[in-house]
Amino acid sequence: MKNKQLAVIYHSAHGHTGHIAAHILAGAQSVPGITAHLLKAEDLTSSPERLLEYDGFVFGSPTYLGGVSGTFKTFMDATGRLWKSHALKGKLASAFTVSSLPAGDKQSTLLSMFVFAMQHGMVWVGNAILPEQHSGVPYEEAANRLGSWSGMMAQAGHSAPADSFVPGDIKTARMFGTNVAEALLRMAADVEAEVTP
Ligand SMILES: Cc1cc2nc3c(=O)[nH]c(=O)nc-3n(C[C@H](O)[C@H](O)[C@H](O)COP(=O)(O)O)c2cc1C
């Protein structure tokens, strides 16, 4: 089977979302059979057809006022002409967001990316990680410490350096990238089994 192509598409004004995107990418790249790419949302706005080259996506945006950033929304809107032909139907989609507050209305950001993916007929993959603090791992070191399953969440102080995440969020990003990549391989294997019985 040819390597499956996964794109991590993100916007980051001050580097935090970009930092998490890089760790998700590394997690995905650790899976044999996956080729993962890091793409900036703003670079795709004038050429959304580039999405057709990929089998799956991880979408990432900072949370701005409880939603995606304007730059990420511009990217989403630029895919309108692909929606008309349902050209992205059946591709894998997943998402993450970064914000400065523990809650910060991050869920709305994930929901906005979920609805975007559903309108395109994509297949959603969440963040299937149990919060490790429940099994005794210290909170700041725990995978999925923020308890988000619809997508991945991370938190960093607004004016803190872009790499100032607690170890738990970095670990979550890596695991999330690996899980999404493995889900993409399972999806591709199922499709191939259907076409070649
Ligand atoms: C216009 C604006 C709106 C924001 N709204 C929220 C918010 O609703 N909730 C929150 O927790 N943080 C909010 N933040 C903080 C950012 O989500 C946070 O700093 C994030 O890490 C920025 O990502 P970046 O460094 O990749 O640009 C906001 C920041 C800006 C600039």
- Evaluate: CB of 71 within 6 angstroms of ligand 1: no
Contact 75, 45 (CB under 8 A): yes
**Which of 72, 155, 158 maximizes ligand 1 atoms within 8 Å of its Cβ, making it the mutation to test the pocket?**
158
Given this model, what pLDDT does residue 39 score?
A: 98
Atom of ligand 1 nearest to the CA of 13: 27
Q: Which atom of ligand 1 is nearest to the CA of 158?
A: 19
CA dist 70 and 62 (Å) reads 10
Condensed to tens digits (0 to 9), the pLDDT of residues 75-89 reads: 999 999 999 999 999
- Cα gap 190→55, rounded to integer Å: 14
Contact between 2 and 54 under an 8 Å Cβ cutoff? The reply is no
Predicted model pTM: 0.97
Fold of 4-195: Rossmann fold (3.40.50)
CA nearest neighbour of 21 among 144, 154, 141: 154
Distance of alpha carbon 89 from alpha carbon 71, whole angstroms: 23
Mean pLDDT by 10 residues, the chain (197 residues): 95 98 98 98 98 98 98 98 97 98 97 98 98 98 98 94 96 98 94 76
Name the closest-CA residue to atom 10, ligand 1.
104
Two tokens, residue 2: 């040819």
